Amino acid sequence: MSIALISDPACKLHKMGDHHPEQPARLDAINNRLIASGLEMVLLNYDAPEVTREQLLAVHDESYIDLVFDSSPSEGLVWLDGDTAMNPHTLQAALHAAGAAVLGVDLVMQGKASQVFCSVRPPGHHAEHNKAMGFCFFNNVAVGALHAINEYGLKRVLIVDFDVHHGNGTEDIVAGDERILFCSSFQHPYYPGPGFSTNTPNVLNLPLPSLTDGKAFREAVIEAWLPKIEAFKPELIMISAGFDGHREDEMAHFNLLEFDYAWITRQLSQFATMSAKGRIVSCLEGGYELHSLARSVEAHIKAFM
């Protein structure tokens, strides 16, 4: 079975200022690395469609969707959050980024690919059901997960978020939905701050201290997540793939390496093989040091193989 890569030119037109860390060059760095490594030649390449309003409504409040559409500027920047801005191209980029997750689900559910990596931006895991924040507008992974449930009738979807920041938006959307098991590892204390402590059975938060290295990360995941994921028996695995925990990335203070991202990808691939017919859809979240980001994505995709 093949591995698919989904991206779209619209995703490179969204820009929040010359010095903003969430920049179009992130996608160029990934693409260049995939070409240099030879991976680009073996991946099935797809352009992301626009997400539909109905698909967004499964995740976000209608009034919030209207706010994002109405805020789209004809020139300059409009800030929806202290670090989250729209330029004239942002709305199209956000629609295609969410649409990539939907297409990814369609590809794996229809047997056209076994795993999918969505190389898209803006990211999504901080976007709550009615709020933009943390560089995010629509919650791409949540849109994909709810599409899988609503369109294909899945009863058990796993979302794993290994970005260095807590996936607060995803938790806000899926908490209490027993069809979804949400696992998020992150540096604590750090952005987005408190609010991750929960007794909700379908949420497994894994706060880790500053300077966490690969050994500590792997041990924590093995203890906190793997037995519960195995018991959950996911029919589909969605990944919020954030690579800003790499030791070269100055956005945070973890000491992870490409090996660690490959390791967790292999663990998830084993679960996918056992209960999900191999189906995984991974969506890019963080990762702001361009070289470590590109190498980490390469390791992530190779681990699918």
Longest dimension (CA), the chain: 51
DSSP 8-class letter at 150: H
Task: Give phi and psi for 183, each to the nearest 5.
Answer: -120, 120
Query: Rounded to an integer, what distance in angstroms lies between the CA atom of residue 130 and that of residue 80?
Result: 12
Partners of 2 in the beta sheet? none
- 126 in catalytic set: yes
Q: Contacts for 53-59 with beta carbons within 8 Å, 24 or more apart?
A: 55/98, 55/99, 55/102, 55/143, 55/146, 55/147, 56/98, 56/138, 56/143, 58/143, 58/146, 58/147, 58/150, 59/129, 59/138, 59/139, 59/142, 59/143, 59/146, 59/173
Choose among 7, 12, 9: nearest CA to 22.
12
Terminal Cα distance for the chain, rounded = 10
Residue 222 burial by Cβ neighbours in a 10 Å radius (0-12, 13-18, 19+): exposed
Measure CA 186 to chain center: 14
| Strand 78-81 versus strand 44-47 pairing type | unpaired
CA dist list (Å): 209 to 118, 212, 223:
29, 6, 16
Which residue do the tokens 């794996």 mark? 108
- Whether 144 and 116 have beta carbons less than 8 Å apart is answered as no
Q: Which of 14, 126, 147, 166 is catalytic?
A: 126
Active site residues: 126
